[in-house]
Amino acid sequence: METMTAERLLSNVIGGEERGSASGSTMPVIAPATGEVIADVPLSNSGDLDEAVQAAQTAQSDWTHMPLKDRVQVFYRMKTLVEEEKDHLAEVLTRENGKTLAESAGEIARAVECLEFAASLPQTAVGDILEVSRGVECKTTRHPLGVVAGITPFNFPFMVPLWMIPMAIALGNAFILKPSPLTPLSAMEIARLLKQAGLPDGVFSIVHGDKTIVEAICDHTGISALGFVGSTHVAKLVFERGVQAGKRVRALGGAKNHLVVVPDADPEMTATNVVASVTGCAGQRCMAASVLLAVGDTEHIIGRIREKMAAMKGGRELGAIISEQAYDRIMGYIERAEANGATLTLDGREAVAEDAPEGGRFLGPSIIDHATPDHEASCEEIFGPTLTIIRCETLDEALAIENANPYGNAAAIYTSSGATAEYFVDRADAGMIGVNIGVPVPREPFAFGGWNDSSFGDGDITGPGAIDFWTKTKKITTKWSDQHRSNWMS
């Protein structure tokens, strides 16, 4: 891949040191809001990964022998550091990802919740013990898996790694991160903060790269478990390849989230909320609203949504689109909308603020209305600030459309009726459901994760399920002496 002059060449982080990649090949990191090259990221090879796994194995054998109570101190300290440095971290995040500073601040605040949850493990991961017969007890103890890895996407480069890292490491594993090469700078900040918080060298590593290193991670026999977050196509490949190599794999994929609006919904609250869901992070969220299923007479709400979206501009309320390729993909859906039989009632292609930085990739919001359920904008993940609207006569029709889509990350309903909400919650085929909430992200200690093609593998990489995912259990049965009336396990 072509290399351009950059301010700095990033390194991998192995054994606590920054190390160049043996591959010698790099890729430019381009700031989406300005088009500037802000770094070069190495595209590592399997030799780099071998080094990282070796360093991680060495470090893990000491780390695992520290009590959990001591291990989590790193995350208490890291939480304080993140809070102290939140403005700097938000700037780095905005620079590499293009989201607004307010959105970066929000992402960092969510990441802090992950650190807090991991720090609470001595109070929450308390194991089981039972007297199964007089004088005989069974208990379960948890043990780390060894060296584990995480592969993460561009859209939440600070938070998504921290979905996995604190839990996996606090539970005694060593962790290797492969961040998106589009947004590797926040990962470097995470490495620095972990070191400053006192994490021993080698317990956390970064190996940068693309497809080649992802495949090497899937195949590496020294890595026991793998968390992946990204698009469905890659999630499925990673899941299958990792499982084939004997790993525990949980892969979270892409999404096509449907919001249902019924006539009794509060118009102002619904419109504000739907618009926030479509336009937040310029639509580059796996929880973003993508399709609005408008049931019956909801014209007054759709009108308000359109007004609010029409007032928004790229480069002001909406941050930048991550890459040229992503920009062209989103433009393509808007360009083809009418040819495919829908009506473009809001065209965001030119809706860019006059003071938006030069060289940035910005778009305003678009609405593709009167779409059929089989329109490409109704079915495919656009991952940009566009809303497709499908008109439905009944809630059952809306549910049938929602449930026929292969993804299952989020679905939401807007209504003022508890009975209607319950009806929808029971029947919607998705893992995360919102009632009058367009981005129904469960916060710690509730785990994040969808269903169907938004998710491959069992278990959770966040929340309490992460305790199971990142550990294995040992079952111990004990009898110290021949107790009176002992009648089992002699």
Q: Which residues bind ligand NAD (CB under 6 A)?
A: 151-156, 160, 178, 180-181, 210-211, 214, 229-231, 234, 237, 252-255, 286, 381, 383, 409, 448, 450, 454
Report the amino acid identity of residue 483.
Q
Which residue carries 């992802």 as its tokens? Answer: 214
- DSSP three-state, residue 117: helix
Burial of 137 (0-12, 13-18, 19+ CB in 10 A): middle
The whole-angstrom separation of Cα 469 and Cα 167 is 10
The whole-angstrom separation of Cα 333 and Cα 476 is 58
Residue 409 DSSP code: S
Do the strands 289-295 and 386-392 form a parallel or antiparallel pair, or are they unpaired? parallel
Rounded to the nearest 10°, the torsion over CA 455, 411, 308, 320 is 0
- DSSP three-state, residue 173: coil
Q: Rank residues 155 and 186 by Cβ distance to ligand NAD and give the closer one.
A: 155
Shortest distance in whole angstroms from residue 181 CB to ligand NAD: 6
Shortest distance in whole angstroms from residue 455 CB to ligand NAD: 7
Q: Rank residues 172 and 450 by Cβ distance to ligand NAD and give the closer one.
A: 450
Shortest distance in whole angstroms from residue 409 CB to ligand NAD: 6
Q: Rank residues 175 and 448 by Cβ distance to ligand NAD and give the closer one.
A: 448
The DSSP-derived string for 280-306 is GGGG-STT-EEEEEEESS-HHHHHHHH
Q: Rank residues 238 and 395 by Cβ distance to ligand NAD and give the closer one.
A: 238
* Nearest-10 crossing angle of helices 159-170, 185-196: 30
Shortest distance in whole angstroms from residue 322 CB to ligand NAD: 7
| Residue 15 Cα distances to 63, 171, 202, 206, angstroms | 13, 19, 4, 10
Phi-psi region of 455 (alpha: psi -120 to 50; beta: other; left: phi over 0): beta
Q: Rank residues 72 and 187 by Cβ distance to ligand NAD and give the closer one.
A: 187
Q: Which residue is nearest to ligand NAD (CB)?
A: 230
- DSSP three-state, residue 192: helix
Two tokens at 28? 């430019």
Shortest distance in whole angstroms from residue 237 CB to ligand NAD: 6
- DSSP three-state, residue 119: helix
The DSSP-derived string for 343-385 is EEEE--TT-B-TTSPTT------EEEES--TTSHHHHS---SS
Q: Rank residues 152 and 273 by Cβ distance to ligand NAD and give the closer one.
A: 152
Shortest distance in whole angstroms from residue 54 CB to ligand NAD: 22
Residue 320 DSSP code: -
Shortest distance in whole angstroms from residue 238 CB to ligand NAD: 6
Q: Rank residues 206 and 401 by Cβ distance to ligand NAD and give the closer one.
A: 206
Two tokens at 206? 């970064």
Q: Rank residues 160 and 259 by Cβ distance to ligand NAD and give the closer one.
A: 160
Catalytic residue among 114, 286, 379, 392: 286
Q: Rank residues 114 and 294 by Cβ distance to ligand NAD and give the closer one.
A: 114
Containing H/E element for 76? helix 73-84
286 is catalytic: yes
Please name which of 149, 182, 171 lies closest in space to residue 72, comparing C-alpha atoms. 171
Shortest distance in whole angstroms from residue 178 CB to ligand NAD: 6
Measured from the Cβ of residue 444, the count of other Cβ atoms closer than 10 Å reads 20
Cβ contact 217:249 at 8 Å: no
| Residue 288 Cα distances to 204, 274, 333, 343, angstroms | 31, 9, 17, 21
Shortest distance in whole angstroms from residue 183 CB to ligand NAD: 8
| Residue 20 Cα distances to 26, 46, 185, angstroms | 10, 13, 15
Please identify every residue annotated as catalytic.
286
